[in-house]
Amino acid sequence: MSELCFLSIAEAARAIAARDLSPVALTEAFLARIEALDGTYRCFVRLRAEDALADARAAERDIAAGRYRGPLHAIPIGLKDIVDTAGIGTENGSALDRGRVPDRDAACWARLKAAGAILLGKLQTHEFAIGGPQFLEDGSVRAANPWGRDRYMGGSSSGPASAVALGLCMGAVGTDTAGSIRIPAAYCGIFGHKPSHGMVGLAGIAPLSATVDHAGPMTWTAEDGALMLAAMAEPVRALGPAPDLATRPDGDLRGLRIGFARHWHSEDIPATPEMAAALEDAAGVFARLGAEVEEMRLPDLGEATACNTVIYLAEAFAHYRDRLASYWRDWTPTARDRLALGALVSADDLARARQGRDESMRAFGVAMAGFDLVLTACVPQVAPLLSATRGLEHIYGVVEGPAFDAAFNLWGAPAASICSGFDAAGLPLAVQLGALPGRDADVLRAAIAYERVTPWRDRRPAP
Amino acid sequence: MTRDEFRAALAQVGIAPEVEELEDMYAAWQRMESGHLMVLRRDATAGAG
């Protein structure tokens, strides 16, 4: 039965629509796999096995009666546990919210539920999406990396990335303030898409920063990410008409112009030779698919990361200041220490960061003139050893230097992490594909085409 | 920002970490000042010129 867990959403949806696949059998397969593996990998914080099965039975009845809702109908998914679910515990990865049960669904979950998705359960997150990894007494962490349990799984959407890679759910919702969808996606070898700002509603999601927070799909394939995003997206007028993301592209990328920002990983943050080679290979694949690939330069990475970090730390502190002051001892040290730094951001520094954001966004627009997409590194190396993420250096990493991901948060621009191979030890490599705000469909179209002509989606972690 | 100024700024918002915690947080703040904040302040200075 576990082979059902390795179907893509697109494959399962076709079979469900044709009534060749029972929603109940599909959900049962995932629950069995969770039962077998989640004790080791700890992706889920809350499982709703009986309720999910009841939902699957209802979906089966509806579909049999001709009430098929579309490609998300009866698809088993998970939600990062900072996404509110009415009547279902949502604890934000924090002891402060132990026992919290929201009375309303987050906007993105309401849309997925209306599309017929079945919620298997809630998935691990770093505390309030900022404090992690959280080590257990035995030195392990929750939501282990399925490619190597001694490896960091990335964060803060750690549970979604690990669960999707392991085949414990077909897709998941993650959130991303400075790379929290794309980094765990890269480390766990899945597809993660941070949409344009505003494309997916943030109501009902624990905030860090209204300016640079995003929610988006985390899936095994880019096509599945497109299907989920189509169901999650708000009909936001500023973004123009919702792109027909579910359209199956033919894989021909002729006419698409892709800038290759090689300087990010060759000058700004040196990538490992294997990661750099994966980027060159990806550029070659896009060219063979018909895209025009040309080297270009993006705005200063250090400035963009600095602006993003200062803005989100200041906004996050404003949101959590009362709970920090009142419950200091109840926070995990990583979360509270990072959040408290926001208290020290002066009005002058915040103004500089906001001005810098405006300038960086303008510069991004100029850099993208003549290009539809930009290819960059997503992470400089494969998933690091967990031991390297323990202690102060990990906290410092947030406040000190540039990273490949935060610039797209600052710009409100779509960016996806795409698995682009494996290193000699079998750990996933990744590239990042971005575009101007509102051009999510181009990112997804190119990512889908790339995955179809590369073998990387055929390889799953062996737990 | 000196260590005392740092402690006072935290106290002003109701945060009073233990001494050892304060040392770690102050070290993190110094890294932020010499990292992201220096980048912002440098750029502002360059813009003013």
Residue A239: what pLDDT? Answer: 55
List, for residues B6-31, the tens digit of each pLDDT value: 999 999 999 999 998 899 899 989 99
User: Poorest-confidence range of A5-9, A191-195, A231-235, A387-391?
Assistant: A387-391
List, for residues A133-184, the tens digit of each pLDDT value: 777 767 777 889 999 999 999 889 999 999 999 999 999 999 999 999 999 9
Q: Mean per-residue pLDDT for B22-41?
A: 92
List, for residues A91-137, the tens digit of each pLDDT value: 999 999 999 999 999 999 999 999 999 999 999 999 999 987 777 76
Chain A residues whose beta carbon lies within 8 Å of the beta carbon of residue B37: 306, 310, 349
Three-state SS sequence of A274-311 = HHHHHHHHHHHHHHHCCCEEEECCCCCHHHHHHHHHHH
Tokens describing residue A202 = 């943030």
Taking the C-alpha atoms of residue A201 and residue A198, their distance in angstroms, rounded to an integer, is: 6
Tokens describing residue A62 = 């509806």
Q: Answer whether B8 touches A (CB < 8 Å).
A: no
Taking the C-alpha atoms of residue A290 and residue A306, their distance in angstroms, rounded to an integer, is: 36
Taking the C-alpha atoms of residue A106 and residue A81, their distance in angstroms, rounded to an integer, is: 11
Interface of B with A in 9-48 (CB under 8 A): 9-10, 13-17, 21, 24-25, 27-29, 31-32, 34-37, 39-41, 43-44
Chain A residues whose beta carbon lies within 8 Å of the beta carbon of residue B34: 400
List, for residues A57-73, the tens digit of each pLDDT value: 999 999 999 999 999 99
Chain B residues whose beta carbon lies within 8 Å of the beta carbon of residue A310: 36-37, 40
Residue A80 has pLDDT above 80, yes or no: yes
Taking the C-alpha atoms of residue A406 and residue A397, their distance in angstroms, rounded to an integer, is: 13
Identified catalytic residue from A8, A22, A94, A180: A180
CB atoms A337 and B28 under 8 Å: yes
Indicate the Cα dihedral angle A267, A268, A272, A273, nearest 10°: -20
Taking the C-alpha atoms of residue A272 and residue A428, their distance in angstroms, rounded to an integer, is: 13
Residue A385 has pLDDT above 50, yes or no: yes
Residue A22 annotated in active site:
no
Q: Mean per-residue pLDDT for A374-394?
A: 84
Most confident segment among A148-152, A190-194, A401-405: A190-194
Mean pLDDT over the full length of chain A: 93
CB atoms B40 and A306 under 8 Å: yes
Q: Answer whether B1 touches A (CB < 8 Å).
A: yes
Place of tokens 């999910």: A52
Chain A residues whose beta carbon lies within 8 Å of the beta carbon of residue B7: none
Residue A248: what pLDDT? Answer: 47
CB atoms A344 and B9 under 8 Å: yes
Residue A131: what pLDDT? Answer: 81
Residue A251: what pLDDT? Answer: 75
Residue B44 has pLDDT above 80, yes or no: no
Closest residue of chain A to B48, computed from CA coordinates: A352
Residue A196 annotated in active site:
no
Taking the C-alpha atoms of residue A387 and residue A314, their distance in angstroms, rounded to an integer, is: 29
**What is the number of CB-based contacts under 8 A between chain A and chain B?**
82
Instruction: Quote the crossing angle between the two packed helices A23-41 and A49-64, to the nearest 10°.
Output: 160
List, for residues A223-274, the tens digit of each pLDDT value: 999 999 999 998 865 555 445 554 545 678 999 999 999 999 999 999 999 9
Residue A386 has pLDDT above 90, yes or no: no
- Which residue in A177, A231, A225 sits closest to A200, CA to CA? A231
Identified catalytic residue from A8, A22, A80, A194: A80
Residue A347 has pLDDT above 70, yes or no: yes
When pLDDT is cut at 50, 70 and 90, the band that residue A463 belongs to is: confident
Nearest to B43 among A333, A356, A400 (CB): A356
Q: Mean per-residue pLDDT for A1-29?
A: 95
Residue A282: what pLDDT? Answer: 98
Residue A277 has pLDDT above 80, yes or no: yes
Residue A113 annotated in active site:
no
